[in-house]
Structure 1
């Protein structure tokens, strides 16, 4: 196992060592101490930032899959009870065509988890290797920058009295440390993992799932979320006791990061038709109302944005007056376009703004290409 994971273990060791040395440069102790705990937290941040593009793809794919649930259920009802090979093949073809049309994939949401699993296993093997490195009995003399002396420093670093390489099950076999303390710290970290995972899945299920009429049948996405809601915490409960304290620290920090990151996405980029989406629409409507837009102007803005056109924001009477634009209450009887003091209609004004922005984007792109050519 170590032979396969060694390249990832080597990278993890260097990242932890680099973060540790940075903390030492800021004034923390260079030997055993909290700097190694913060090194694990720093490793969490580095890994999460590296997979952030994948996480964005996961969120997009998840939103697309959730938005497709009504259409998927229609296809499933269409072939309900048909178990012959031709019907099942046609059902899969229609589902695949639906995924392709809306750029969705049922497996894309698993990418960040799949990417993280080798990192998690490698971190586990790194922490397991520290005791052997500290005694000089490991298969190699060093692990990247981790020498025998550094491994000993890590071994003596603790979280509330529990060594980073200790686990709930190994607590009685570590002389010099309290088995009760180790088990309490490990148990608390496992409980934090369970709570954060449960809360994250519950928020996703309760606030970011599109509402579907119960008469249309069970929503497969909601059923899957329910399995994950209770399945993953249960998995943590049984597997967490076997992981070292250092891995539990990494896992808890990652879950807390996920919880905050997902809360931000649910609030600002919710799935259409979900509870969070309706709450966001209500916030935007209140914001437009405070900006002085009438109900008709806000509706016009919504229609323009829904059509994917130029995002032209209508002006309220007070803003129009300050901008020197006249907005009569009604259109003239002869259907003449309404023009402001600048002699332009709303459409012409929006078009000029659009052309100006396009020109600015073109200039920025041209300047960026020039800079790239200079560097090359």
Structure 2
């Protein structure tokens, strides 16, 4: 396993050593001690920062999945009560085709966790190799910058008396520190379970629209499974992972809480409880500033008496500005002359207002045609997929 994970172990070793050097530069002890505990936390922050694009992609996929919920319900209704193998297979094929067409997946919410699994195991193997590496018994002379001397420093570093390379399963190898190791590991596992449960519960109660809270919704099912199955996984795997890995995991969960809280407060899912709360806050702020409650309601184009104010040409706008009043009364001939004068004015692009408006119209017309052709092509693909599945 070390052969497969060694490239990741090598990168982790360099990151931890770099963070440790930065901490010692600011005055922390250069040997065994708290600096190596904080270097694991620093490793977590760096990894999670690099994963922000993946998190954003996950959020986009999740929102797309919520938008597809009505289509998913139609497919489920179509095959409702049909339990034969062929019907179930067709239902699954239609749902997966729908996800592929819109570039998402029901398992998109699991993407960050899947990316972190190799990092967990690489850190696990790195801490496992610390003791043999410090004694010169490891199959390699070093793991990146982690040589015999640095491995001894990591092995002697502790969290409240529990060595970073120890676990509940290996606590017997550390003599009198056994009780301390078990106690610290159990506390970390409980905190991990609590933070994960809070994260998943926060998504389900605050950042999912009411239409998505349907037990038959795949996205809702995935979140529900993670809510109850992931804590169980922590219980079974927490006894084998070292204190250093548990620190990494707990720090990652705390990062999740902060990242998710920011997203819920600033960019919640449309239709969710958090979205309604944010809209209400915005509405109250606008009222307090003396603005209209709704963001999209600007100043009215109506003048007193209910007559709509007509837009002005450039020449007439200048003339109205000079007089400091509304439109002066003009004869039809004067008005026509002013409009012609405004039309003859050319901008830096060499076009008049009328020519510029014509170009905008042509661009929009071309965009509509492209959009219509895409819709037709998508419908054609759907029909072809249905024909292929009729067997």
**Shorter chain as normaliser: what TM range?**
0.7 to 0.9
Partner of 1:174: 174
Alignment CA distance shift 1:120-1:330 (3 Å): farther
The answer to whether the 8 Å contact 1:166/1:182 transfers is yes
Partner of 1:290: 288
Partner of 2:243: 245
Does residue 306 of structure 2 align to residue 331 of structure 1? yes
**Structure 1, 123-132 or 136-145: larger mean CA deviation:** 136-145
Distance 1:217 1:231 in 2: 17
Partner of 1:276: 274
Where do 1:22-171 residues align within 5 Å?
22-83=22-83, 87-88=87-88, 90-100=90-100, 102-171=102-171
TM-superposed deviation, 1:82 = 2.5
Aligned to 1:139, what secondary structure does the other structure show? Answer: coil
The answer to whether the 8 Å contact 1:67/1:210 transfers is no
TM-superposed deviation, 1:101 = 5.2
The answer to whether the 8 Å contact 1:130/1:154 transfers is yes
TM-superposed deviation, 1:97 = 4.8
Q: Which runs of 4+ in 1 moved over 6 A?
A: 338-345
- In structure 2, list runs of 5 or more residues that go unmatched: 327-391
Alignment CA distance shift 1:19-1:213 (3 Å): closer
Aligned length: 318
**Structure 1, 274-283 or 39-48: larger mean CA deviation:** 274-283
TM-superposed deviation, 1:133 = 0.6
Partner of 2:263: 265
- In structure 1, list runs of 5 or more residues that go unmatched: 302-313, 317-325, 346-376
Aligned to 2:252, what secondary structure does the other structure show? Answer: helix
Deviations 1:13-70 (A, max 9, x none): 0110111111111111111110100100000011001111011101111122133223
Alignment CA distance shift 1:162-1:217 (3 Å): closer
Partner of 2:184: 185
Distance 1:173 1:260 in 2: 37
TM-superposed deviation, 1:223 = 3.1
Distance 2:181 2:90 in 1: 56
**Structure 1, 69-78 or 126-135: larger mean CA deviation:** 69-78
The answer to whether the 8 Å contact 1:66/1:271 transfers is no
Query: Please, what TM-score do these two structures have when normalized by structure 1?
Result: 0.77
Query: Please, what TM-score do these two structures have when normalized by structure 2?
Result: 0.75
TM-superposed deviation, 1:207 = 1.1
TM-superposed deviation, 1:112 = 1.6
